[in-house]
Each structure stands twice: as structure tokens, then as C-alpha cells.
Amino acid sequence: MEHSEGHTPTPRLLDRARRYCAAQEQCEHAVRQKLAAWGAEPGEAGLVVESLREEGYLDDVRYARAFCESKMLRGGWGRRRVEAALRAKRLSAEAIAEGLSAVDDDRYFETLTAEAAKKLRLLGGGSDAATRQRLSAFLASRGYTMEEIHQVITNNLQQ
């Protein structure tokens, strides 16, 4: 959307949106929701979003990278869960792919291994079929793929 002649967002609304984006990385969808909650009309919200992008306050690829880093490496989420969350935030497929690919595979598998070890301790240890099944179900619920789960169980639960 290009700026129409004579159409600019109100300075108060734009300043508020800048502060919102400066406090924590945001995606366009979240900013639009916040603007609507603040009473902005859709046309004005579009102008605010455009201004925020031009000024560098808003970048969905940058947001996707930060989200993936946070959720995958510090939150222990798997790729599937992160991808679903980013789709729910209406990010483009390209932004999602950029975010996912920005996470280092070695660090991702270190996190997965740590999550598996922590859950295994809670399950009482062991490597029997029931324990493997419960561990697999837990890791799948965290968004890890079956291939990733199989890899971590094979490498860390020697019989």
C-alpha cells in the first residue's frame, strides 16, 4: 500500500505504534490487531504499518527469526509447533522459512536432547517400550517431527 496524497496516520497513533514495536519485536498481524484495539480505522492502520516498515520498526522476517530463536532454543518448541504458531500470526511462507532456517541445527538438536533428557528423568528413566512411547508422545506434543524424535531416542536411549 502506498501513501495516498494527503493521507498520513495521526502522529499520536504512529508514535504509540512505534513504542509498541520498539519494546519488543512484533509482526504485522499483531500490530494491526493492536491498532484496531486502539480504535484505528483499517485505512489508517495500513498507513501506520507502511510507515513502521519504512522506518524499520516492523519486519516480518526479522520477527520470524527472533520468534524461532526464542521458541526453539529457549522454549524447547519443535519446528512444527513454531511453524504453526507463525502461520497463525499470518506470516508469509517466505518469512517462516527464513525464520526456521536461521536457527542453527546443532543448537536445535541440543535443545531437543535436553528436553528429552528432562522428560525422561520425570518418567523415571529407563528405555523400555512404554517409556519410549511416552517420551515420543511428549516430544511430538512439543512440535518435534517423528524423524527428530527417533533420532534423539536412538542416540540417547541405548538399550
Report if residue 54 sits inside a domain: yes
Name the DSSP letter for residue 144. -
Categorize the per-residue pLDDT at 7 as very low, low, confident or very high, splitting at 50, 70 and 90.
low
Confirm whether 5 is domain-assigned.
Answer: no
- Same domain membership, residue 48 and residue 78: no
149 shares a domain with 113 = yes
Query: What's residue 104's pLDDT?
Result: 96
Q: How many domains does the chain have?
A: 3
Domain extent at residue 44: 11-58
Please indicate, yes or no, if residue 111 is contained in any of the structural domains. yes
Whether residues 39 and 66 fall in one domain: no
84 plus 122 within the same structural domain = no
Is pLDDT of 127 > 90? no
Which of 144, 20, 35, 28 is CA-nearest to residue 86? Answer: 28
| Residue 4 predicted with pLDDT over 50 | no
Tens of pLDDT, residues 19-58: 999 999 999 999 999 999 999 999 999 999 999 999 999 9
* Residue 20 shares a structural domain with residue 44: yes
Does a structural domain hold residue 4? Answer: no
pLDDT score of 156 more than 80: no
CA–CA separation, 145 and 111 (whole Å): 14
Same domain, 109 and 82: no
Residue 158 pLDDT more than 60? no
Residues 111 and 143 in one domain: yes
- pLDDT, residue 125, reads 84
For residue 41, the domain's CATH number is 1.10.10
Asked if the structure places residue 15 within a domain, the reply is yes
Task: Confirm whether 1 is domain-assigned.
Answer: no
What pLDDT is recorded for position 5? Answer: 43
Over 85-96, what HEC string results?
HHHHCCCCHHHH
Distance CA 134, CA 5 (A): 61
Tell me what the mean pLDDT of segment 149-158 comes to.
85
